[in-house]
Structure 1
């Protein structure tokens, strides 16, 4: 209808196997797939689909019930409006509950987490329900103390920030590869000692990994390395070892020293109603300490990634770059400071 004659239709997408060597090679970065036949097969359906869309736009707002479609494949922009009538702790907060099961409860008129029938909940969800009903945290001092006693000093609290660009930023990296550009490390030499802080942040467009690896040698040869959800930190170290085999012995040697601060929360040795069904650090920290990330210039890892790319690779003036880099330092340090604070609360709840 636009009077544009199309001979062939191709879909371009990123080739995940591409590795940057020097300047980006567009022919290597993208994979081109001919979808002409598939598009032609669908062409006859387009007029009817357009008519349906226009009908929806012209009609009244549909009275659509809650359902998995509210969250998948993407969160709906109207969710805040549609969910305004829900109680403070809705069944949607149930820990690791299948969306279909939760929305089935809502369809039955069960909105509050405390009203969910016990036979529909597993053991952890029953603990969660009791904490919400009582307003008090659930604590299991025995396993909590056993886990705490497994930590060895000096204690190293570690957090990485990474950048994962579709178009690789550095030689030797591929699309969406997690490349660390920053870390924060709090070291506590002995129980009760004041922590000292070490950090690294790349400030130029050069590959940050060599400098970051050297700075990581601030981690001593003994003691526990504590992180929250160690899968991420350990994965970063493994990729560094693969990319820089000359440092592999050092980096691989850190792996078996990790302990995961997520463990007490995932096992529900501690659970607070204000975690709202989440065991992430962003929920655990305010639940335990009343302090969180609200009001910080950079408040989450995705924002840190975007701001790093903007400040280092974008067209920003020197003052703005300094502001962003300072925000990144503050955010990453907050993450490892949070590990210490959470650990302190858990230690007080399960004394020797």
Structure 2
């Protein structure tokens, strides 16, 4: 039979679900458009940095003509000992590029690079697949290893890649998986031979749809389920959703009398019966009574670097780079607005952020946030990094009031919130026809991950582009704190 071309990424997709490969080939337009550019960029940057771990190396440039990469690898393999990055091989139509190949006189060592901070099961399949290809070409594989991020590493002024990366020896695991790899490859080929364009394979909805990665074809494979369904219940654990699904309890009507959490039943009830908003005025008044002037409505934006860019920071540490602050100095006073946005080239972002915030919130009024955990954790981290600021960070944390609590506890709930207490669901539920509060109408940035990605890329932009992006960041963050002001006003309105 004609064997399909597999790569290590395609093989790993099939380990998760063989139908992904069929859908990729015959229905690629059915994939949900999900911006993974930032993830790919992170992986690429980490991979490039790791290439220098073993000294000088010879790199194979990517070429759509895979044969050219394989031929270049063959040439370089003769110059042993050497280090080859993206060394490319094929066996029986199974192709792989090895991130780092130590090509010694007595054999080779495989190093797969990941931007993760831990060893995941799917990485074992990835490394074992490469072992399969190279060993079947007659290469003596001395070691097969995974290189990944050490998230305990704290950067000094200079980056130390020997400390940034961990290396895990997976040689024995890779060897033990060889029979499994061979069987899987045969099954994948049989599957694709059996199911051509006009013979779509059966869809099996199971936990593998999200493990190890959320499948881009989830919406396609669940297109015939009733709407809303068990997978739309906010907060329910995924395994519980699948349990109900396999019991045939799929639609909200199926679930309305089930013995499940009351919050899930409440979401179902409000959806099915179009209930009026539920407002616990006593609970909301208690929260309002805890608020003291001056009132500081504040929201942070943060970003993460897999490769720490700032001294004293760890990989993937949350770096607060921006805040918006709406202030009501006293009862009846007009609202003031202040904001901070770090410079893209600033090497002291966290301290400058903290000092600006301390200056803008000098008094012991209430600090209003939406989801206390995030801001409070960042403040504690700042206090640990800069002991001279710890007292001020503790003062601010001691004044925090979490505006999310009434929604999380369902003291205030409407059908439109769809079981969620995210501000992106709550705000349009409270103000459905206010264009000023519509995140969709913002010019460029509409959610937190877009803000993070925009800031990370800021220094690579032209001055004109930087100005446009910075304005969009300020616009987005300002709406977050305006949203909190409007929620506070709604609380006052419904409790009058």
TM-score, length basis structure 2: 0.67
Listed as ranges, the gaps of 5+ residues in structure 2 are 1-135
Q: Could you say which residue in structure 1 is the equivalent of 2:365?
A: 223
1:7/1:109 CA distance change after superposition, 3 Å: closer
Q: What CA distance in whole angstroms lies between the structure 2 residues aligned with 1:340 and 1:187? A: 9
1:28-66 superposed Cα distances (whole Å, 9 cap, x missing partner): 111112222221222232211111122233333332243
Contact 1:15/1:31 (<8 A) preserved = yes
Alignment of 1:166-245 (within 5 A): 166-206=306-346, 207-216=348-357, 217-245=359-387
Structure-2 residue corresponding to 1:120: 259
Residues 294/88 of structure 1: CA separation in 2 closer, same or farther (3 Å cut):
farther
Contact 2:351 2:382 (8 Å CA) reproduced? no
Q: Is residue 203–residue 325 contact of structure 1 (8 Å, CA) maintained in 2?
A: no
CA contact (8 A) 1:261 1:339 kept: yes
Residue 109 (structure 1) shift? 4.1
Aligned residue number for residue 256 of structure 1: 398
Q: What corresponds to 1:294 in structure 2?
A: 440
- Answer with 1 or 2: which has the greater Rg: 2
Aligned-pair CA distance for 1:3: 4.8
Assess if the C-alpha contact under 8 Å between 1:153 and 1:223 holds in 2.
yes
Q: How does 1:1-352 map to 2 (within 5 A)?
A: 1-60=136-195, 61-132=200-271, 133-206=273-346, 207-216=348-357, 217-290=359-432, 291-296=437-442, 297-312=444-459, 314=460, 316-351=461-496
Q: Shift of the alpha carbon at 1:82?
A: 2.7
By how many angstroms is 1:191 displaced? 3.5
RMSD over aligned Cα, in angstroms?
1.9
Instruction: Measure, in 1, the Cα distance between the counterparts of 2:249 and 2:332.
Output: 47
Question: How far apart are the structure 2 equivalents of 1:86 and 1:141?
Answer: 38
CA–CA separation in structure 2 for the residues paired with 1:265 and 1:272: 10
Tell me, in whole angstroms, the C-alpha distance in 2 between the residues paired with 1:21 and 1:154.
39
Higher relative contact order (CA 8 A, sep 6+): 1
Shift of 1:4: 4.3
Give the 3 Å change call, closer, same or farther, for CA 43–111 of structure 1 in structure 2. closer
Gaps of 5+ in 1: none
Deviation at 1:113, TM superposition (A): 2.3
Q: Distance in 1 between matches of 2:431 and 2:398?
A: 30
TM-score between the two structures when normalised by the length of structure 1: 0.92
CA contact (8 A) 2:230 2:241 kept: yes
Alpha-carbon spacing, 1:36–1:115, altered in 2? closer, same or farther (3 Å) = closer
Superposed CA offset, 1:256-309 (max 9, x none): 111111100111001111212211111111111124322431122212111111
Q: Single out whichever of 90-99 and 326-335 deviates more from structure 2.
A: 90-99
